[in-house]
């Protein structure tokens, strides 16, 4: 269920109102970008996915079922775009220096969380930690651990059964722990 | 409370680190630009679709009228005033089709693009069922 403001905005978008759609993009672009960045570990790829996602949203707003939470539907589209990027290897290759990753990791693990980490370092860390994961494991891990979704929400986003989500998550966690130990 | 588990610490750190696009406004603009372009191309294809239908349907309808009036009506009937829907004197005979009306309806159809397709369909059906099928 959405709040009244969202419903009204979506309705305006459905009627072809570009200004309403701009508002919608402004409101949700950040979340979509963060999710795409965590999935693809590349700024340009994440931007491509943001653009792709919102164009798909615009095209399919008439099919959107308002019984489903808008963010769930939005994440579903974003997840599909990211998943396609991961599966088809459309991603831009990024060279990661192991020293850079170690340094960024140390920086992140320090108790001072106030310190800001730059996108490039963050991408290097996530990329290093998750490069052994399958696209499905990465998707489930990102949604659960980094985006904070519950299993039932992940199920709605990915169309995976709760059992599959749990098994993918288990394997992802195990692999990441091993990666962390190596570092 | 800080966790001592390196995995949990890393997850917390990753959750807190929120990347942001360098040019968020530019990204929004590019999305809006893309959908505006799409809107225009959608309109263009809709107009093309309507006109394509007009052309094909109109050609088919005019051809049908021509054949009907040339071959199916008797000489005498075809010299009488065209456009009478029902031949009052001989109800069992096929009715005439009003060419002027037909052309007019096509013109209206082209001018009024919004409702054109439905209207045209309705008129076409009216002609078919009310006139041609009378016999």
Reference B54, options B111, B131, B129; nearest CA is: B111
Structure confidence by residue, pLDDT tens digits, A80-123: 999 888 877 666 656 666 666 667 666 666 655 545 567 777 88
Report the Cα B108 to chain-centroid distance in Å.
Answer: 14
Contact criterion met (CB below 8 Å) for A74 and A32 = yes
**CB contact set of B47 (below 8 Å; sequence gap of 6+):** B113
Residue B90 clears pLDDT 80, i.e. is over it: no
pLDDT at A125: 83
Query: By percentage, how much of chain A surpasses pLDDT 70?
Result: 81
Task: State pTM to two decimals.
Answer: 0.67
**CB contact set of A78 (below 8 Å; sequence gap of 6+):** A32, A35, A36, A49, A53
Strand runs labelled E in B5-83: none
Reference B128, options B93, B81, B90, B94; nearest CA is: B94
pLDDT at B40: 77
Cβ-based interface (< 8 Å): residues of A facing B = 16, 18, 21-22, 25-26, 29-30, 33-34, 37-38, 43, 46-47, 50-51, 54-55, 58-59, 105, 108-109, 111, 113, 117, 119, 122-123, 125-126, 129, 145-146, 148, 173, 176-177, 180
Residue B55 clears pLDDT 80, i.e. is over it: no
Contact criterion met (CB below 8 Å) for A40 and A80 = no
- Would you place residue A66 in the very low, low, confident or very high pLDDT band (cuts 50, 70, 90)? confident
pLDDT at A51: 93
Structure confidence by residue, pLDDT tens digits, B25-42: 888 999 998 888 887 777
pLDDT at A95: 60
**Structure-token pair, residue B135:** 């016999």
Residue B60 clears pLDDT 90, i.e. is over it: no
Is the dihedral angle over the CA atoms A23, A24, A25, A31 positive or is it negative?
positive
Cα dihedral value A182, A183, B6, B11, nearest 10 = -110
B6 close contact with A: CB closer than 8 A: yes
């Amino acid at each position: 269920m959405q709040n009244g403001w969202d419903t009204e905005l979506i309705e305006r978008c459905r009627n072809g109102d570009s200004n309403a759609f701009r508002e919608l993009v402004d409101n949700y672009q950040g979340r979509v970008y963060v999710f795409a960045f965590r999935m693809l570990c590349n700024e340009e790829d994440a931007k491509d996915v943001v653009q792709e996602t919102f164009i798909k949203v615009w095209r399919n707003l008439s099919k959107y079922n308002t019984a489903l939470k808008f963010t769930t539907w939005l994440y579903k589209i974003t997840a599909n775009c990211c998943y396609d990027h991961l599966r088809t290897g459309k991603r831009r290759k990024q060279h990661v220096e192991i020293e850079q990753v170690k340094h960024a990791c140390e920086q992140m693990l320090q108790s001072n969380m106030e310190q800001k980490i730059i996108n490039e370092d963050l991408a290097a860390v996530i990329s290093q930690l998750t490069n052994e994961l399958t696209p499905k494991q990465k998707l489930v891990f990102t949604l659960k651990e980094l985006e904070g979704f519950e299993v039932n929400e992940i199920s709605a986003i990915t169309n995976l059964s709760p059992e599959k989500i749990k098994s993918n998550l288990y394997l992802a966690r195990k692999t990441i722990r091993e990666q962390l130990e190596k570092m | 409370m800080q966790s001592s588990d390196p995995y949990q610490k890393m997850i917390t750190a990753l959750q807190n680190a929120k990347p942001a696009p360098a040019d968020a406004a530019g990204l929004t603009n590019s999305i809006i630009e893309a959908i505006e372009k799409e809107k225009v191309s959608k309109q263009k294809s809709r107009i093309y679709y309507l006109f394509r239908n007009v052309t094909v349907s109109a050609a088919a309808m005019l051809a049908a009228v021509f054949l009907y009036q040339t071959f199916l009506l008797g000489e005498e009937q075809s010299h009488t005033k065209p456009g009478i829907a029902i031949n009052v004197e001989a109800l069992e005979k096929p009715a005439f089709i009003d060419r002027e009306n037909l052309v007019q309806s096509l013109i209206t159809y082209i001018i009024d693009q919004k409702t054109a397709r439905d209207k045209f369909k309705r008129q076409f059906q009216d002609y078919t069922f009310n006139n041609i099928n009378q016999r």
